[in-house]
């Protein structure tokens, strides 16, 4: 799932117009351009930045205070960076294969020698 979120976030960064259209259909923004202005500075690729972890902690605290979560936990210990690291490596490898594969000639079935 982390890999899919990373790919989705990366794809939206490459095509913010498509994301703006999708978000516009579920919000009260004036138009797609107005929606884009509201999201153009947002990094959609998941990460464990201090700001994102603080947001998760706020959400966790809200859910605990309203009885949705019974046991408290440390968000920083709970967040597992190895999943994002693996997703990032896979995304980089896929991009590398596409970029280099597009530039290489098709493999020949003929054998040399």
112 assigned to some structural domain: no
56 assigned to some structural domain: yes
Higher pLDDT, 62 or 47: 62
CA 26 vs CA 8, 12, 17, 92, 95: distances in Å: 18, 17, 15, 32, 31
106 assigned to some structural domain: no
* Range of the structural domain that residue 55 is part of: 2-95
Average pLDDT, the chain: 76
How confident is the model over 91-109, as a mean pLDDT? Answer: 74
13 assigned to some structural domain: yes
79 assigned to some structural domain: yes
What pLDDT, on the 0 to 100 scale, is given for residue 88? 81
9 assigned to some structural domain: yes
Query: pLDDT band at residue 62, thresholds of 50, 70 and 90?
Result: very high
105 assigned to some structural domain: no
Higher pLDDT, 19 or 70: 70
46 assigned to some structural domain: yes
Q: Percent of the chain having pLDDT more than 90?
A: 23
Query: DSSP 3-state helix, strand, coil percentages of the chain (rounded to 5)?
Result: 65, 0, 35
């Amino acid at each position: 799932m982390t890999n899919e979120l990373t790919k989705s976030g990366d794809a939206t960064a490459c095509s913010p117009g498509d994301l703006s259209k999708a978000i516009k259909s579920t919000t009260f923004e004036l138009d797609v351009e107005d929606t884009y202005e509201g999201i153009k500075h947002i990094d959609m690729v998941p990460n464990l930045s201090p700001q994102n972890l603080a947001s998760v902690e706020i959400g966790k605290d809200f859910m605990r205070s309203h009885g949705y979560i019974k046991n408290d936990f440390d968000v920083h210990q709970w967040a597992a960076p190895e999943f994002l690291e693996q997703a990032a490596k896979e995304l980089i490898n896929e991009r590398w294969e596409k970029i280099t594969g597009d530039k290489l000639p098709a493999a020949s079935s003929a054998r040399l020698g």
